[in-house]
Amino acid sequence: MLLKPASEPVRNQNGCWLWNLIEAASYRGRSLTGSLNPRKNMIKFILPCILILTLSCTSPERYGSSLTPGQQREQIGLQYQKTGERIEKGQIRFDGGDGLSIENAIIINGAENEKEGIIAELIYIGKKHGEKNADWKPIMQGFLNKNGKSYDEIKIEDIKNNNNISYYFDITAFFGKY
């Protein structure tokens, strides 16, 4: 069924076309809600809008972090430091191959969760290539599943040597741990 507005559109002071919402949502005097009462129609239209707006404006504590961006950076810095210390103590180890192919993936053992494992990957690359964003920068990170094992592929741009390198990490030991 084709809906036809009950009135012609008009322009407001900004030059935008406006329609009467109640009339635009009606056809032959009956609204989409089935009521002839324009006030009921408006309430049935506005209440869902208010509900959607209310749900989209919920506090960050409920669905995400309540930390400011500065606090988040500080927290990430502390996590990098903790992971680096665990690597130095031998609690997190890099076993396996050189990581230049999935068959020779670097196996990360000892990471307690995904966050620590990902930080360990970046520390490994940093030890091989220098300072992140000065000597190298990440281009892409991807997840692969092969033969029942989980892998991360991290593609970097080696700024010093002007080339791109992909590293493969076997993340099976910590994948899915939070």
Domain locations along the chain: 10-54, 91-178
pLDDT score, position 22: 42
Q: Are 154 and 145 in contact (CB under 8 A)?
A: no
Q: Are 22 and 3 in contact (CB under 8 A)?
A: no
- Measure the CA–CA gap between 138 and 34, rounded to whole angstroms: 57
Q: Which one has a higher pLDDT value, 17 or 75?
A: 75
pLDDT score, position 37: 60
Q: What is the pLDDT of residues 91-126, one digit of tens each?
A: 999 999 999 999 999 999 999 999 999 999 999 999
pLDDT score, position 12: 52
